[in-house]
């Protein structure tokens, strides 16, 4: 069965919740896991089309906390999100090649550890394996803004988001900076209780680097040189903890490096997956 490059969302009842996903292309299965507060369709801008064109079946999905998947506003754990991803791969007839970014990368490496039978190979973009004082402070601030019902002025929110997630090289181009500020402003400030539940995960972070020494799947870890949100040294730590991991770093890219430098990101992903498909 050949699936279209742009597929309509489907839903499945898995792991006790509803998961919304899209299924496009044909070939080896690739499951892509998005980060905090973002829907799976963010992958559709650059990575999903490139992978479909290269002959993969690509599934993107909305993590729990992101509607129309179950928002689970009562709260959940990282283990719940790992189990969701595992259930989806089983539903799709896995195992799978798994690609994640940020929180999605953390889910991916935990999945490779917990369910090695479901992960043929894994790619982790902008990842981390332990809490740091800066990560804890930023996460606590995000939770407090929500809990106190504080909404930042839209222009300031856009500027702060751009500053934290984009490379200075991108923002030094006035036209590019204006375009990104417009895009972020248009996206608005996500205030759902499901996203608040995702933010709650960061209140219980642990150092998982020692555990990652037991990951057996081939792994590619990609750091973004200008990442202020999750500095690249944190990704490198993960690559050094996983015995089978390769590490690559992309210049002129911030936390949104897969959107800023999509051709280079796609090239690294495709080269790695081609060796493990």
DSSP the chain: -PPPSS---EEEEETTEEEEEEEE--SSEEEEE--TT--GGGGGGTHHHHHHHTT-EEEEEEPTTSTTS---TT---HHHHHHHHHHHHHHTT--EEEEEETHHHHHHHHHHHH-GGGEEEEEEES--SS--HHHHHHHHHHHHHHHTT----HHHHHHHHHHHHS-HHHHTSHHHHHHHHHHHHHH-----HHHHHHHGGGGG----TTGGGG--S-EEEEEETT-SSS-HHHHHHHHHHSTTEEEEEESS--TTHHHHSHHHHHHHHHHHHHTT-
**Annotation marks residue 84 as catalytic:** no
23, 227, 232, 239: the active-site residue: 227
What is the token pair recorded at 201? 């995960």
pLDDT score recorded for residue 6: 55
pLDDT score recorded for residue 28: 97
pLDDT in tens, 12-63: 999 999 999 999 999 999 999 999 999 999 999 999 999 999 999 999 999 9
Please check the confidence at residue 202 and state whether its pLDDT lies above 90: no
Query: Is the overall model pTM greater than 0.85, yes or no?
Result: yes
CA pair distance 127, 224, nearest whole angstrom: 10
Q: Are 155 and 189 in contact (CB under 8 A)?
A: no
Tell me the average pLDDT of the chain.
Answer: 94
Please check the confidence at residue 158 and state whether its pLDDT lies above 80: yes
pLDDT score recorded for residue 8: 82
What is the token pair recorded at 156? 């300031």
187/76: higher pLDDT:
76
Classify 10-131+207-274 by CATH class. Answer: alpha beta
What is the domain partition of the chain in residue ranges?
A: 10-131+207-274
Question: From edge to edge, which strands make up the β-sheet containing 96-101?
Answer: 10-14, 17-24, 57-62, 29-33, 96-101, 119-125, 219-224, 245-250
Please check the confidence at residue 2 and state whether its pLDDT lies above 60: no
5 pLDDT band (50/70/90 cuts)? low
pLDDT score recorded for residue 277: 86
pLDDT score recorded for residue 205: 85
pLDDT score recorded for residue 78: 95
**Annotation marks residue 157 as catalytic:** no
**Annotation marks residue 147 as catalytic:** no
Q: Are 195 and 66 in contact (CB under 8 A)?
A: yes
Please state whether beta strands 10-14 and 17-24 pair in parallel, antiparallel, or not at all (unpaired): antiparallel
Query: Can you say whether the dihedral through the CA atoms of 270, 161, 180, 225 is positive or negative?
Result: negative
Please check the confidence at residue 160 and state whether its pLDDT lies above 90: yes
pLDDT score recorded for residue 33: 98
Please check the confidence at residue 186 and state whether its pLDDT lies above 90: no
pLDDT in tens, 49-108: 999 999 999 999 999 999 999 999 999 999 999 999 999 999 999 899 999 999 999 999
pLDDT in tens, 211-249: 999 999 999 999 999 999 999 999 999 999 999 899 999
20, 38, 70, 102: the active-site residue: 102
């Amino acid at each position: 069965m050949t699936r279209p490059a742009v597929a309509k969302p489907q839903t499945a009842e898995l792991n006790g919740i509803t998961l919304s996903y899209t299924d496009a292309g044909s070939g080896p299965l690739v499951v892509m896991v998005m980060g905090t507060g973002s829907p799976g369709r963010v992958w559709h801008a650059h990575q999903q089309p490139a992978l479909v064109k290269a002959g993969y079946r690509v599934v993107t999905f909305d993590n729990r906390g992101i509607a129309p998947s179950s928002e689970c506003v009562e709260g959940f754990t990282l283990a719940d999100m790992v189990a969701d991803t595992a259930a989806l791969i089983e539903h799709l007839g896995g195992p799978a090649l798994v690609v994640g970014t940020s929180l999605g990368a953390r889910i991916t490496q935990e999945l490779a550890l917990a369910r090695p039978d479901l992960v043929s190979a894994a790619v982790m973009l902008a990842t981390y394996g332990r809490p740091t004082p800066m990560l804890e402070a930023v996460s606590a601030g995000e939770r407090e803004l929500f809990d106190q019902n504080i909404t930042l002025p839209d222009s300031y929110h856009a500027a702060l988001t751009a500053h934290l997630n984009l490379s200075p090289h991108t923002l030094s181009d006035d036209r590019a900076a204006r375009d990104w500020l417009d895009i972020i402003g248009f996206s608005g400030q996500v205030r759902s209780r499901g996203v608040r539940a995702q933010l709650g995960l960061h209140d219980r972070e642990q150092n998982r680097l020692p555990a990652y020494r037991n990951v057996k799947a081939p792994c590619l870890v990609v750091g973004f040189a200008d990442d202020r949100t999750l500095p690249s040294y944190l990704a490198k730590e993960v690559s050094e903890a996983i015995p089978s991991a390769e590490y690559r770093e992309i210049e002129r890219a911030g936390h949104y490096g897969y959107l800023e430098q999509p051709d280079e990101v796609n090239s690294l992903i495709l080269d790695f997956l081609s060796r493990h498909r």
